[in-house]
Amino acid sequence: MKRRVGVLISGRGSNMMALVEAARAPDCPFEIALVATDKPDAPGLAWAIEQGIPTFAQSPRGKPKPEYEAAIDAALRAAGVEAIALAGYMRLLSEDFVARWRGRIVNIHPSLLPKYKGLDTHARALAMGDSVAGCSVHLVTEELDGGEVLGQAEVRIDARDTAESLAERVLAAEHRLYPQVLAEWLCR
Ligand code: GRF
In this predicted structure, what is the pLDDT of residue 96?
Answer: 98
Which residue's alpha carbon is at the smallest distance from atom 10 of ligand 1?
88
In this predicted structure, what is the pLDDT of residue 162?
Answer: 98
CA of 108 to the centre of ligand 1 (A): 7
In this predicted structure, what is the pLDDT of residue 147?
Answer: 97
Which residues form the pocket of ligand 1, taking CB atoms under 6 Å from any ligand atom? 9, 11-15, 44, 87-88, 108-110, 135, 171, 174
Which residue's alpha carbon is at the smallest distance from atom 7 of ligand 1?
88
Q: 156: closest CA among 181, 178, 130, 117?
A: 130
For a mutational test of ligand 1's pocket, the pick from 38, 93, 108, i.e. the residue with the most ligand atoms closer than 8 A to its C-beta, is: 108
In this predicted structure, what is the pLDDT of residue 7?
Answer: 99
| Cα angle: 151, vertex 172, 33; to 5 degrees | 70
Active-site annotation holds for 175: no
Q: 125: closest CA among 158, 150, 152, 173?
A: 158
Give the residues of the chain that fall short of pLDDT 50.
none
In this predicted structure, what is the pLDDT of residue 34?
Answer: 99
Using the atom order of ligand 1, give the atom closest to the CA of residue 13: 12
In this predicted structure, what is the pLDDT of residue 5?
Answer: 99
In this predicted structure, what is the pLDDT of residue 129?
Answer: 98
In this predicted structure, what is the pLDDT of residue 163?
Answer: 98
Beta bridge partners of 133: 155
Tell me how far apart the alpha carbons of residues 7 and 45 are, in angstroms, rounded to a whole number. 11
Contacts by residues 46-52 (CB-CB < 8 Å, ≥ 24 positions apart): 47/13, 47/17, 48/13, 48/16, 48/20, 51/20
In this predicted structure, what is the pLDDT of residue 36?
Answer: 98
* pTM exceeding 0.95: yes
In this predicted structure, what is the pLDDT of residue 26?
Answer: 97
CA of 61 to the centre of ligand 1 (A): 22
